[in-house]
Amino acid sequence: MNMNRKRRIALLTALAILLFAGSTWAACTSHSKDSDHDGVPNCVEKKLGTNPHSADTDHDGLSDGLELMLGTDPHDADTDGDGESDGVEEAHGRDPMDGGDDDADDEVSVKIKSPVIAVDSASGAVTLLGGRLTVDASGADLEGVADLAELQSRVAAGGTVMAKVKIDPASLAGAGTLVATKVEVKGSDDEDDVRCCLPGDGAHDDCDHQSAGDCAAAGGLDMGPGSCEPNPCP
């Protein structure tokens, strides 16, 4: 059953609850008191077992009224049990009732090339973070790469791609404000690759291993074979 059909059924079910409330629960109608303003009257919430004083009983980011309309469980923050809250899935356009949704293709393993700087807004402390992180690359600014699919293809073929990725500070050790990141996404070694200096913040300051043809097509400078450490780009 597709998501739209499930939502229509869920909406009709929710409306039925309200329409028949007058006959089933004599004093309960769609105009009854709604303390938390979630679109579901207190009397209905009591029958459903949701909290009439909290617009979001399960704290998943979706109001109880919206959950009834979508068909998700207002008592369970993760209706389909896939490890992501209903609110997060809905916000990203995924079906919160389909545990088969898999966004693993939107994640790549990256190595921090230059330090990630986190600033604690409370204490003013500055922390340099390194190591390996797994980040959502679906919205990354990938230099010399058109989209995520091309990135994955390039990495699988042995390429190295520079990517500037925004990382949620909450996912880092110690809450703080993320100032800047630069990450290097690496695949297997390819002896035919050259060091290509791609246009970046400077003239051609981002070194990337790729074929000579790809380097030329991207408007980069071919620096020949070798390592990008230290950065050979002008």
pLDDT bucket at 206, cuts 50 / 70 / 90: confident
Q: Is the pLDDT of residue 60 over 80?
A: yes
Domain co-membership, 20 together with 85: yes
**pLDDT cut 90: percent of the chain above it:** 4
Number of domains the chain is built from: 2
Domain co-membership, 67 together with 25: yes
Domain co-membership, 132 together with 56: no
pLDDT bucket at 1, cuts 50 / 70 / 90: very low
Domain co-membership, 85 together with 125: no
Q: Does some domain include residue 43? A: yes
Mean pLDDT of 58-83: 84
Which tokens belong to 78?
């993760």
Q: What is the residue range of 49's domain?
A: 3-91
Q: Do residues 186 and 155 touch, judged by C-beta distance below 8 A?
A: yes
Domain co-membership, 66 together with 34: yes
Domain co-membership, 68 together with 47: yes
Q: What pLDDT does residue 192 have?
A: 62
Domain co-membership, 82 together with 8: yes
Q: What pLDDT does residue 6 have?
A: 52
Q: Is the pLDDT of residue 38 over 50?
A: yes
Q: What pLDDT does residue 58 have?
A: 92
Domain co-membership, 17 together with 74: yes
Complete DSSP assignment for 120-189: -TTT--EEEE-SEEEEE-TT-EETT-SSHHHHHHHHHTT-EEEEE----GGGSSS--EEEEEEEEEE-S-
d(CA 130, CA 5) in angstroms, rounded, equals 46
| pTM across the whole model | 0.36
Q: Does some domain include residue 230? A: no
Give the domain-ending residue among 68, 91, 114: 91
Q: Does some domain include residue 223? A: no
Q: Does some domain include residue 51? A: yes
Give the domain-ending residue among 33, 56, 91: 91
pLDDT bucket at 19, cuts 50 / 70 / 90: very low
Domain co-membership, 75 together with 143: no
Q: Does some domain include residue 110? A: yes
Domain co-membership, 85 together with 160: no
Decide which of 63 and 105 is more confident: 63
Domain co-membership, 14 together with 44: yes
Q: Does some domain include residue 228? A: no
Q: Does some domain include residue 203? A: no
Q: Which among 146, 180, 139, 178 is positioned nearest to 161, based on CA atoms?
A: 146
d(CA 31, CA 53) in angstroms, rounded, equals 16
CA distances (Å), 3 to each of 17, 67, 70, 93, in order? Answer: 21, 13, 9, 11
Q: What pLDDT does residue 223 have?
A: 84
pLDDT digits (tens, 9 = 90+) for 131-189: 333 344 444 444 555 555 665 565 555 555 544 444 444 544 444 444 444 444 444 44
Q: Does some domain include residue 178? A: yes
Domain co-membership, 38 together with 118: no
Decide which of 72 and 4 is more confident: 72
Q: Is the pLDDT of residue 56 over 90?
A: yes
